[in-house]
Amino acid sequence: MKKTMGLCSVCERGRLALGTGELEKGVFVEVFRCSECGAKEYDLEVAKKIEAFYQARARKRSLIKLVRVLAVTIPADIVSRHKFRPGEKILVEEKNEEVVLKPVPA
């Protein structure tokens, strides 16, 4: 694993310093942080672990057919963590191959 400090590929000014990042409470990974802009970069093997972590956390949901649209239920723990309420508007965005649900910014 590469431990050397390199130049930030985002701002091209700052130096990358190895530190620890927290994916979620109690789940830590090694991360390189830029001293100037704060951008985060990961080693390839750490990036692979992060992707596997999020894939393992993703849960299967069934699509429910309503009149002309399909709906999906959101797991209760995610609802409570994001404080979603019935009738609340959320943003549905397509990002490459993914569909992302986001709270509407206040």
What is the phi-psi region of residue 96: left when phi exceeds 0, alpha when psi lies from -120 to 50, beta otherwise? left
Closest CB to Zn ion among residues 40, 82 = 40
Q: Does 36 participate in binding Zn ion (rule CB under 5 A)?
A: yes
Q: Does 41 participate in binding Zn ion (rule CB under 5 A)?
A: no
Q: Which stretch binds Zn ion (CB under 5 A): 26-34, 53-61, 63-71, 93-101?
A: 26-34
**Per-residue b/e over 32-45, b at no fewer than 16 CB within 10 Å?**
bbbeeeeeeebbee
Q: Does 31 participate in binding Zn ion (rule CB under 5 A)?
A: no
* CB atoms closer than 10 angstroms to residue 18: 14
Which residues sit at the interface with Zn ion, rule CB under 5 A? 8, 10-11, 14, 34, 36-37, 39
